[in-house]
């Protein structure tokens, strides 16, 4: 996991560097004293995990997140718990209160691992659907989205669509884990295939799919996107 530390306090930074090395789960790509120093690096090289202090000279941790072109998973490191509310708005994964202890550091990393597994895992590799009078084998990872057509559903892959007699509710039960999520009463999507999100729609390949108002915040949460 490509990781960067942004922390202005010398000993906390050094300790985090050591923890990262010791845990064997992170690949430390950079360690910076100020957010200003880190910004150029972060926007030039996409990382997966950011240990971020909040109160720093120059731009603070939240301002750094505002200026980044993407959102890695963030673990805040701060001595003030009053930042928790803002941290929640930025959808940070965890909040390490300084001085940081190793067991707490590991617990935060475990949260990251669980999230990664949730987003990456698929319920099964392959499954069969009955379409046009025959059973067709599909891979979960090939599916872009599934659309309800009343008593039928359409499985859409990158090169083909298959219509089968079923309901979206039945499909939803079958695909309750992994990267699939119901985003609208007529659509289940593979979150790993989402290209972009605009207002109440998301794009997968060339298709624009509506997102229910009630489900939007959950969609953003699953995708780790800050509103």
Partner 1 sequence: MGKNVFEADTGLDKAFLDAVYENDTQTAAAIFEQYLIDLPSDLASIHNCFSSGDREQFRSLIHKKKVGFSYVGLTAVTADLSELENKCSAGADLKECQQQVESVLKRINESTEAVRQVLKRLQQHEDQ
- Which pair of structure tokens corresponds to residue 165? 């007699």
Residues 16-55 that bind partner 1 (CB under 8 A): 18, 22, 55
Q: Is 58 in the site for partner 1 (CB under 8 A)?
A: no
Q: 145 near 193, Cβ under 8 Å?
A: yes
Q: Is 9 in the site for partner 1 (CB under 8 A)?
A: yes
Q: 67 near 20, Cβ under 8 Å?
A: no
Among 57, 81, 128, 160, binds partner 1 (CB under 8 A): 57
Q: Is 8 in the site for partner 1 (CB under 8 A)?
A: yes
Q: Is 12 in the site for partner 1 (CB under 8 A)?
A: yes
Shortest reach from residue 92's CB to partner 1, in Å:
19
Window contacting partner 1 (CB under 8 A); options: 13-21, 161-169, 200-208, 214-222: 13-21
Q: Is 79 in the site for partner 1 (CB under 8 A)?
A: yes
Establish how many alpha carbons lie within 13 A of residue 154's alpha carbon, considering only the half-sphere containing its beta carbon: 11
Residues 99-118 that bind partner 1 (CB under 8 A): 99-103
Among 14, 113, 185, 221, binds partner 1 (CB under 8 A): 14
Residue 18 or 120: which CB sits closer to partner 1? 18
Shortest reach from residue 96's CB to partner 1, in Å:
11
Shortest reach from residue 104's CB to partner 1, in Å:
9
> Residues in the site for partner 1, rule: CB under 8 A?
8-12, 14-15, 18, 22, 55, 57, 79, 98-103
């Amino acid at each position: 996991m490509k990781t960067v530390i942004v922390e202005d306090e010398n000993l906390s930074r050094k300790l985090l560097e050591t923890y990262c090395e010791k845990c064997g789960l992170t690949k430390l790509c950079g360690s910076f004293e100020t957010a200003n120093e880190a910004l150029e690096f972060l926007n030039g090289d996409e990382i997966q995990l950011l240990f971020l202090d909040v109160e720093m000279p120059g731009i603070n941790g939240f301002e750094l997140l505002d200026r980044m072109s993407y959102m890695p998973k963030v673990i805040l490191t701060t001595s003030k718990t009053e930042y928790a509310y803002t941290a929640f708005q930025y959808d940070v994964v965890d909040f390490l209160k300084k001085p940081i202890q190793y067991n707490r550091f590991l617990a935060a990393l475990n949260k990251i691992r669980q999230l990664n597994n949730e987003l990456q895992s698929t319920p099964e590799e392959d499954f069969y659907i009955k379409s046009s009078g025959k059973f067709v084998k599909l891979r979960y990872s090939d599916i872009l989205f599934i659309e309800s057509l009343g008593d039928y559903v359409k499985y859409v892959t990158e090169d083909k669509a298959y219509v089968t007699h079923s309901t979206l509710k039945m499909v939803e039960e079958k695909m309750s884990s992994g990267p699939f999520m119901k985003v609208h009463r007529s659509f289940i999507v593979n979150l790993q295939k989402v290209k972009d999100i605009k207002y109440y729609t998301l794009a997968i390949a060339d298709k624009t799919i509506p997102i229910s108002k009630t489900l939007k915040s959950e969609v953003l949460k699953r995708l780790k996107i800050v509103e």
